[in-house]
Structure 1
Amino acid sequence: MLYEAKFETPVYVKPHRGGGVAIEICNAVQGIDFLAEFPIDGEPIMEAALEACVAATQEPILSKHAEATFLKFAKAYGVLAFEPVPTFSIPTASQHRSFH
Structure 2
Amino acid sequence: MPEEIKQIQNVLKKYKFPEGQLLFRQKYEEYKDIAERAVPDILVEDNCESIGGIDEMTITHVKPEIKKKIVSIPIKEFGGIDHLPDKISAL
State whether TM-score is above 0.5: no
Larger % of helix: which? 1
TM value normalised by structure 1: 0.25
Kindly name which structure, 1 or 2, has the bigger radius of gyration based on alpha carbons: 1
Query: Which structure exhibits the higher relative contact order, with contacts defined as CA atoms closer than 8 Å and separated by 6 or more residues?
Result: 1
Query: What TM-score does the superposition give when structure 2 sets the normalisation length?
Result: 0.27
